[in-house]
């Protein structure tokens, strides 16, 4: 009886299942060099899933609006962990701190700046209705420095 089931499953009607399984198992998830905007994460994911990377970028922007800190951290870790085509991941037993260090510093500065902008006021600059605080201004400056450092170094890795 089992032999009959095996013969039935190996019939031409189910041959497409093995082709799909073989196609998925032969693909490798890598960051894209040709379809990259920042670090190639969405381009590589689009190539892996056979989906337009712009749709994935749109989902990423929506997630960035909904939860900016989480999306920035996830994208940065994905850029560090997912290898570039034919390359290796930057997070390995021997970490190249000359490349990874500025990315981590930019991420930390961005998150600290975002945290400072979200805190209650320490003291108010200007009129009470403006509610511009020192923490907000300092947080904005720190976040912009972190963002510039992060984006610049994500393009290089």
Contact 119, 145 (CB under 8 A): no
Domain residue spans in the chain? 28-94, 96-157
Contact 52, 46 (CB under 8 A): yes
Contact 131, 121 (CB under 8 A): yes
Return the pLDDT at 20.
47
Rounded to two decimals, the pTM is 0.69
pLDDT digit of tens for each residue in the chain (157 aa)?
Answer: 555 555 555 555 555 455 545 555 567 778 887 888 888 889 888 888 888 999 999 999 998 888 888 888 899 988 888 888 777 666 666 667 777 888 889 999 988 988 888 765 545 555 555 567 787 888 889 989 999 999 998 888 7
* 36: exposed, middle or buried (Cβ count in 10 Å: 0-12, 13-18, 19+): middle
DSSP H or E stretch at residue 125: strand 124-125
């Amino acid at each position: 009886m089992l032999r009959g089931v095996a013969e039935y499953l190996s019939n031409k009607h189910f041959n497409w299942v093995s082709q799909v399984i073989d196609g998925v198992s032969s693909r490798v998830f890598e960051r894209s060099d040709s379809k990259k905007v920042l670090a190639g994460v969405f381009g590589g994911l689009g190539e892996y899933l056979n989906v337009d990377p712009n749709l994935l970028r749109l989902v990423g922007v929506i997630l960035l609006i909904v939860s900016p800190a989480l999306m920035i951290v996830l994208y940065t870790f994905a850029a560090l962990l997912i290898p570039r085509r034919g390359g290796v991941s930057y997070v390995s037993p021997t970490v190249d701190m000359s490349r990874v260090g500025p990315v981590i510093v930019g991420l930390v500065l961005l998150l600290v700046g975002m945290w400072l902008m979200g805190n209650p006021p320490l003291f108010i600059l200007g009129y009470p209705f403006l509610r511009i605080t020192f923490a907000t201004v300092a947080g904005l400056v720190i976040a912009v420095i972190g963002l510039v450092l992060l984006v610049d170094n994500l393009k290089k890795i």
